[in-house]
Amino acid sequence: MNFWNDPINFITMWLRNQFGGWGMADWLVNVLLAVMGIVVLIICAMMLDIMLVWVERKVVARFQDRFGPNRVGPFGLIQPFADIIKLLIKEDITPIGADRIIFNLAPILAMTAVLLLWAILPLGSVIYGVDLNVGVLYIIATGAIGTLSIIMAGWASNNKFALIGAFRTVAQMVSYEIPMLVAMLIPTILAGTMSVNGIVHAQNVWFVILSPIGVLIFIISAIAELGRSPFDLNEAESEIVAGFHIEYTGMKFGMFYASELLHTFTFGGFIATLFFGGWRGPFAETYPLLGLFYFFIKAMFFYWVIMWVKYSMPRIRIDHMLAFNWKFLTPLAFVLLIVTAVVDKVLAQTNYHATGMLLANIIVGWVTIEILRIHARGLRKKDDIPAQPSTQAAHH
Amino acid sequence: MQNEWLYIGLFMLVGVIIPIGAITVAWLLGPHKPNPVKQSTYECGIETVGESWIQFKAQYYIFALVYLVFDVETVFLFPWAVALGKLPLFAVLEGVLFILILITGLIFAWRKGALEWV
Amino acid sequence: MDFMQIIFLLCAALILGAALMVVTTRNMIHAALWLIATLFGVAVLYVLLNAGFLAVVQVVIYIGAIAILFIFAVMLTRREMRDQGPQLNKGWWMAGLISLLSFSGLFMLFTNWSGFRRTMVEIPAGLDTLKELGLALVSPNAFVVPFEVASVLLLAALIGAVYVSFRGK
């Protein structure tokens, strides 16, 4: 085993020899190595987070036909560091009547929930934190902690708008977890395991080809789960003045903002992992660092797609949003699940597996569009009922 | 398997310490000059009107309730999905029956108007 | 006192302490948050018993749905955030005595039960417990009938909740 084939184990072996040479107990060496690995992973995630601020501002600027930050450093690359310094030296204002403990706990929990996701993200064939055998549900569990932190923030602020924002956020995030869970059941069925690394290993054919509608449902629910536009009622600046994080200043607000960006990137990573092959690519098995590169490219691409949706579409009203979820996405997701399970079982060992699944998905999509078209036609007919009686009444 | 969860526990510990560290650095570096105007509740720049509570809107609770039932159902489906490769077709249809019974529940809630946001 | 025992004792202390705080704290939202701490402790307990799937399910369902339902219920029906007054009334020593007596009675009963002294079965390495659970849930000589009955139970819960909320409409 040399460095290029197995970097993490190589470094671990070397460090273990060093520590053993100093005469440390075995369990202490293990704990120390684990903590070092965790700190490196978290520091990388935070550095990435800082760069994501720059990416966000540049991309939104380009979508809006302007330049974005270009004063501070070449191409504005030092801008995020200036932002962080600004956030660090701002005053920490706690409003009167706020519940101090919960008020301070909420941003910490928001950031922790996102950082916890990096423990199971497979960055390369042997580069990952840990290979949990319940990885897929673990993603939802950390989402639950994030949702909790939003309620805590909204309640502890002692502010009507924060409370309304928190309620609407939780109603939205919680509703969109169902299609997300069902969309995550589809790679589980196709791979036969819930561990995220196992799902990547099982993708000889990328799962996007086996289930394109599953990808669509997952992307839409992920955007809603993250609270990004067009589902960003939690922080609708024009509606409820920044929602649940109105009363937060300085670095606490920075924690919420940074955790949202990092969460978006992590979900981009999960879209890439669950459906687009994760770190798979040419030569990724023998050179894990190449796998890391492929993963990063794919995750960045999906981060860009999520930003593209954000800056192209207006905000959706809350009743439309909830109706879209419960009356369209959830039934569609369940129907897709049933079709996937049956087709997968029937065509499991044959050669027609991939084409059969793709065909089943196309049929489900076509039937859905037909149903929507008939429904829209029915609605239009209702609107076209002649309005003569009411106009005559108005004339009188 | 417990070693993996131990790793997650350590991760949680470090993951809590780092944001606490960041916020502590901010607390040390920032000024501390509280005055009543700064600390008053924000309401678009005017004085607050009324107490800080909102009207009870039952729809929030109903959506959370419907979500709870479907969450439990979906979690039941996870072991079935993992074992799908080794199951005969009959077992797959049992799972499909499970899903269909709960879709009936969704249709019931839809027809009763529980999914409206009035 | 090996490592697992230390973790178990800490976890048990968390669960019991948080449960005590749930019933004695003055602020209702704090009570809900202490309940979340208790449920999280139970999830850690599941991990100690090698049931990782149940631990994540505990977090997803209990903390992610049921605790949020509790918090909604508290927030939507309380007018203020401030203290609600002391939670212990005059007869608390009598209640404490009775609960202590019931606990000792239960303890006597359990120590005489044979299952109390059974040690944990070692799972053979390489056995995928999740796949076994899935196979057991749908195989006709295991748990398929409870599986389908659970779905009917969930349907009944959903219909009941919707009916109770919409009786007037």
Determine the topology of domain C1-83 in CATH.
Four Helix Bundle (Hemerythrin (Met), subunit A) (1.20.120)
Give how many domains chain A has, as a whole number. Answer: 2
Low-confidence ranges of chain A (pLDDT < 70): 1, 233-242, 385-396
Which pLDDT value is given to residue B46? Answer: 58
Q: CA of A177 to nearest chain B CA: how many angstroms apart?
A: 8
Q: Write the single-letter amino acid at B4.
A: E
| C31/C22 Cα distance (integer angstroms) | 4
pLDDT band per the 50, 70, 90 thresholds, residue B84? confident
B31 in any annotated domain: yes
Chain B contact for A145, CB < 8 A? no
Give chain A's radius of gyration (CA, Å). Answer: 24
Q: Is residue A390 part of a domain?
A: no
Write out the residue range of the structural domain in which residue A315 sits.
94-372
Choosing from A89, A120, A150, the residue where a domain stops is A89
The token pair that represents B10 in the structure block: 């350590």
Query: Who wins on pLDDT, C121 or A342?
Result: A342
User: A121: phi > 0 → left, psi -120 to 50 → alpha, else beta; which?
Assistant: beta
Residue A63 shares a structural domain with residue A141: no
Helix boundaries (H) for A276-387: 288-310, 318-324, 330-346, 353-383
**Do residues A247 and B42 touch, judged by C-beta distance below 8 A?**
yes
List of chain B residues whose C-beta atoms are within 8 Å of the C-beta of residue C79: 51, 53
Confidence at residue A273, expressed as pLDDT on a 0 to 100 scale: 92
The H-or-E segment that residue A240 falls in is helix A237-240
Joined together, the tokens standing for residue A376 give 């829209």
Task: Check CB contact under 8 Å for C133 and B58.
Answer: no
Q: In 3-state terms, what secondary structure has residue A54?
A: helix
Which residues, other chains included, contact A324 with Cβ-Cβ below 8 Å and sequence gap of 6+? A316
A155 lies in some domain: yes
Domain end position, chosen among A89, A113, A148: A89
Helix (H, G, I), strand (E, B) or coil at A350: coil
Helices (H), A1-134: 7-21, 26-63, 79-88, 100-117
Q: Is residue B41 part of a domain?
A: yes
DSSP H/E element including C89? none
Residue of B50, B58, B65 lying closest to B106 (CA atoms): B65
Same domain for A208 and A267? Answer: yes
| Number of residues assigned to chain A | 396
- Residue numbers in C near A177 (CB within 8 A): 64
Please give the pLDDT value at position C60: 93
pLDDT at B50 over 60: no
- Both A216 and A99 in one domain: the answer is yes
Q: What is the ipTM of this complex?
A: 0.88
In-domain check, residue A389: no
Task: Give me the pLDDT at residue A318, please.
Answer: 82
Q: What percent of chain C has pLDDT over 70?
A: 91
A45 with A151, same domain?
no
Inside any domain, residue B56: yes
Higher pLDDT, C26 or A260: A260
What integer is the mean pLDDT of C142-164?
Answer: 88
HSE, side-chain direction, 13 A CA sphere, residue C28: 16
A263 token code pair: 């969460």
Window A:219-278, CB contacts with B under 8 Å: 241, 246-247, 250-252, 254-255
DSSP helix/strand/coil, C115: helix
Query: In which band, very low, low, confident or very high, does the pLDDT at C43 lie, cut at 50, 70 and 90?
Result: very high
Q: Is A156 on the interface with B (CB under 8 A)?
A: no
Residues 31 to 60 of B: which have CB under 8 A from any C CB? 51-53, 56-58, 60
Q: Cβ separation of B42 and A338 shorter than 8 Å?
A: no
For chain B, percent of residues with pLDDT exceeding 90: 25
Judge if A265 and A156 occupy the same domain: yes
B81 and C134 within 8 Å at the Cβ level: the answer is: yes
Q: For residue B87, give its domain range.
A: 2-112
C5, two tokens:
């025992």
Choose one of A39, A70, A89: the last residue of a domain: A89
Is residue C167 less than 8 Å (CB to CB) from chain B?
Answer: no
Total domains, chain B:
1
**pLDDT at C79 > cutoff 90:** no
CA distance A101 to A35: 28
Q: Does residue C168 have a pLDDT over 60? A: no
Domain membership flag for residue B117: no
- Residue A218's CB is within 10 A of a number of other CB atoms, namely 25
- C59 vs A156, A197, B101, CA distance in Å? 23, 22, 25
By three-state DSSP, how is residue A64 classified?
A: coil
Average of per-residue pLDDT across B44-48: 58
Contacts of B86 (CB under 8 A, 6+ apart): C131, C135
Cβ–Cβ of B72/C61 closer than 8 Å?
yes
User: Which of the four pLDDT bands, split at 50, 70 and 90, describes residue B56?
Assistant: low
Residue B118 lies in a domain: no
A351 and A279 housed in the same domain: yes
Reference C14, options C33, C49, C32, C40; nearest CA is C40
A187 and A74 fall within a common domain = no
Tell whether A72 and A196 lie within a shared domain: no
Q: What is the pLDDT of residue A385?
A: 64
Look at residue B34 and tell me if it is in a domain: yes
Which of C29, C57, C131 lies nearest to residue A137, judging by beta carbons?
C57
Chain C, nearest residue to B68 by Cα:
C65
Q: What is the CATH number of the domain that holds B104?
A: 1.20.58.1610
Residue A112, CA distances (Å) to A45, A144, A145, A171 in order: 12, 12, 9, 22
